[in-house]
Amino acid sequence: MFVVARAELHAPKQEIALLANALNLLVPMSTNDGEFHGPSIDEFFPGALFFEGTNFEINRIMLVRFIAVVALLLVFWLGTRHLRVVPGRFQSLLEMGLDLVRVNVAEDLLGKKDGKRFLPILTTMFFMILFMNITGVIPFLNIAGTSVIGVPLVLAIVSYVTFIYAGVKKSPENFFKNSLFPSGVPWPVYIIVTPIELLSTFVIRPVTLTLRLMMNMIVGHLLLVLFFAATQFFVFSLGGWWTLVGAGTLAFGFAFTLFEILVAFLQAYVFTLLTAVYIQLAVAEEH
């Protein structure tokens, strides 16, 4: 845990160090200057590592994302290289994950046929979010790849395009009619209902998808940094009896680390489930 705490503290500083020249490698050592450094939003905007200033800029968080992608590819490539009819332990675990999306999300909500059509999108969403969320509690990575707006936004756009595509493919006129003019409502009510439906279906949905995921990850990271930075401060800067308070903050940090693992799973599941629900509403005959 302590390693995590130190890494959390030093991580943002290290980018600064990389930015500057070799002299500045001394900077991480200067954190014990007696002041308390709380986390800030700048943690999510570390300095560039490569291609600074271009549209291909790569900073620490982009690197964390690449690591998550490589880990994901590696796990699933190794896991599905020799698939057996009677699965081993590792294969059972992978199948459990894949079945969560295939059975509990895709087939339960969309049925066998549509479930199979949208399975690649849903599976990709779930595992991409899961792997990029979980980096938030992995030592030395210590930041979720989804805590910067790019991934949540791209996935929300994918979700948005997918459910509109699903609805339009099914029946263009029914889709917009059902979405904007729900049946069983007397026509004057449409004056109020239609703008609300328009807003909720075509504006609120992608925005909430994006913000829910990103804010969960940002807040989780800030909480962890806060607890571990406080531990660092109480134990090493103040010392004495304050060490006890530091032990308390460390315990909270540990508890929230576990909680973050849960949140990582939960947010991946919620994002995928909501996308499936939107697709299901779009392909449904009537509301």
Partner 1 sequence: MLHAVLSAATEGGETHSPVIPEVYDILWSSVCFVIILIFFWKYVLPRVQTMLDERGEAIEGNIAKADEAQRKAEAALEEYTAQLADARAEAGQIRETAREDGKKIVAEAKDTAVSEAARVTASAQAQIEAERQSALVSLRSEVGTIAIDLASGVIGESLTDDQKAQAVVDRFLADLEASETAAAGETK
CB of 93 to partner 1, least distance (A): 13
Asked if 153 interacts with partner 1 (CB under 8 A), we say yes
Sole window of 153-161, 197-205, 236-244, 252-260 interacting with partner 1 (rule: CB under 8 A): 153-161
Within 18-37, the residues that bind partner 1 by CB under 8 A are 19-20, 23-24, 26-27, 30-31, 33
Asked if 65 interacts with partner 1 (CB under 8 A), we say yes
Indicate which single residue of 3, 22, 34, 85 sits in contact with partner 1 (rule: CB under 8 A).
85
Residue 40 or 200 with smaller CB distance to partner 1 = 40
CB of 82 to partner 1, least distance (A): 10
End-to-end CA distance of the chain: 50
3-state secondary structure the chain: CHHHHHHHHHHHHHHHHHHCCHHHHHHHHHHCCCCCCCCCHHHHCCCEEECCCCCCCEEHHHHHHHHHHHHHHHHHHHHHHCCCCCCCHHHHHHHHHHHHHHHHHHHHHHHHHHHHHHHHHHHHHHHHHHHHHHHHHCCCCCCCHHHCCHHHHHHHHHHHHHHHHHHHHHCHHHHHHHHHCCCCCCHHHHHHHHHHHHHHHHHHHHHHHHHHHHHHHHHHHHHHHHHHHHHHHHHHHHCCCHHHHHHHHHHHHHHHHHHHHHHHHHHHHHHHHHHHHHHHHHHCCCC
Indicate which single residue of 6, 7, 18, 47 sits in contact with partner 1 (rule: CB under 8 A).
47
Indicate which single residue of 104, 124, 174, 237 sits in contact with partner 1 (rule: CB under 8 A).
124
CB of 263 to partner 1, least distance (A): 17
Sole window of 78-86, 133-141, 170-178, 237-245 interacting with partner 1 (rule: CB under 8 A): 78-86
Indicate which single residue of 55, 89, 191, 240 sits in contact with partner 1 (rule: CB under 8 A).
55
Sole window of 83-91, 233-241, 255-263, 265-273 interacting with partner 1 (rule: CB under 8 A): 83-91
CB of 68 to partner 1, least distance (A): 8
Helices 108-134 and 60-81: crossing angle in degrees, nearest 10, is 130
Residue 179 or 220 with smaller CB distance to partner 1 = 220
The tokens describing 267, both together, are 């947010």
Pairing relation of β-strands 58-59 and 48-50?
antiparallel
The residue ranges that bind partner 1 (CB under 8 A) are 13, 16, 19-20, 23-24, 26-27, 30-31, 33, 40-42, 44-45, 47, 51, 54-58, 62, 65-66, 68-69, 72-73, 76-77, 80, 83-85, 95, 98, 119-121, 123-124, 127-128, 132, 145, 148-151, 153-155, 158, 211, 214, 218
